[in-house]
Chain A
Amino acid sequence: MKKIFFFLSFLFILASCGSDDDICLSSDSTPRLKLKFRSAANTSNQLIRIDTLYVDVDYGKTSLTNIITAQPNVDSIFVPMRVDNAVYTDIYFRTRKNGPRSKMRVSYITKPIYVSPACGYKINYENLNAELLESNPVQNVESNHTSLTDESRINFYLRF
């Protein structure tokens, strides 16, 4: 009988150090924009690699966020876009550290999707549309898939 008293008290003491289970371990986050590259010199659809690439993104902070720095021999990149209420994300491309910079504005319609208690919401993008505001070194943008719900499909081809 007495043992059960102690067992009960033990349960109470256990309760004092209860754990929390609210960590989002799943990778079910907002999908990233997927980009591949083509050559601007010829009109073929052959994919190319960029020898060195720098990518900066404007997330609405005071300065640009550098997401890719001097990555060599790149064949495709993933670019996380803004998840706030902005209707576009500005992405900047350079092939040399101090070289010219292209500015691409991707506009879209955001759609928040509830994932789980631990993860909260993710954003899906619809009606993706890219506009090249400054066109060197990127010469042209070709749209491929205009909705972004997972990272399986290529959204835009950039012609360098």
Chain B
Amino acid sequence: MKVESIFICAFSVFSIFGFAQQKQDEKKQDSVKWKYTPNFTVGVDALNLGSGFFGDRKLYQGFISSRINKKVHAIIDLGYDKNVYQKNGYDAKADGLFAKIGGFYMLTMDPDNQLNGFYAGAKLAASFYSQEYMAIPVKGQYSEGVTVAFDPSTQSSYWIEASLGARVQVFESNFFLDVNVQPRYLAYTTKQEEITPMIVPGFGRSSGNFNMGFSWSLAYKF
């Protein structure tokens, strides 16, 4: 866990340099009517891919986004998440696929390159996964280490998430860096024997309904 945290910290510092190349021109742009032409940006989350080497959580996710008008982009995220929860007497694991669909709105745009800038958006997300609770603690005085176990089962969870982030072109290439934070709220989850899931693939720790996700993606624009 410690190593994973240090990795995320180092990645954050590194990401500042990635953005340092941003130009600060303040030109007024001409407002030409924007017409949709098929365009796609495909990205892979490098932060979580990398931290998978250091922690128990293996999170692989990517996105496809398309600019549908001047300031609005549609986005679909797909991912696979495998995680364990071994704490406070719990021993649980879960793995499964998740998908998110939504859009984001460019709050500020670089006049030179309209794909650069800050954005805010919202997504609906769903996760379909299998879980196994090998141990759930039973609380009783003088009886530490007593647990109950459950058979593997298939569950699904649904949440809404906001995204706040920035997208910056890497020099003059078709590559972009996309960094965003995703505050999320677990709206509904199926339960096994009324047990609130401790981990939900794609959502993360779910003992509380609120969670925060981070991603740092390298994207390519076709």
Contacts and interface: CB of A to CB of B under 8 A. Distances in A.
A116 B196 contact: yes
A80 B214 contact: no
A59 B143 contact: yes
B5 interface: yes
A9 B138 contact: no
Nearest to B47: A12
A80 B164 CA distance: 51
A112 B150 CA distance: 13
Nearest to A81: B140
B108 A1 contact: yes
Contacts of B19: 5
Interface in B102-145: 108, 118, 136-143
19 contacts: A4-B118, A4-B166, A5-B166, A13-B9, A15-B12, A16-B12, A18-B5, A21-B207, A28-B139, A29-B140, A32-B141, A67-B142, A80-B140, A83-B139, A116-B196, A117-B196, A120-B136, A121-B139, A123-B138
Interface of B: 5-6, 8-9, 11-13, 15-16, 19, 22, 24, 87-90, 108, 118, 136-143, 146-148, 165-166, 179, 181, 193-196, 198, 205, 207-208, 212, 214
Interface of A: 1-2, 4-6, 8-9, 11-13, 15-18, 20-24, 28-30, 32, 57, 59, 65, 67, 80-84, 112, 114-123
Given A4-B166, A119-B137, 13 more contacts: A12-B12, A12-B181, A21-B207, A29-B141, A59-B142, A59-B143, A80-B142, A81-B140, A82-B143, A83-B138, A114-B194, A120-B138, A121-B137
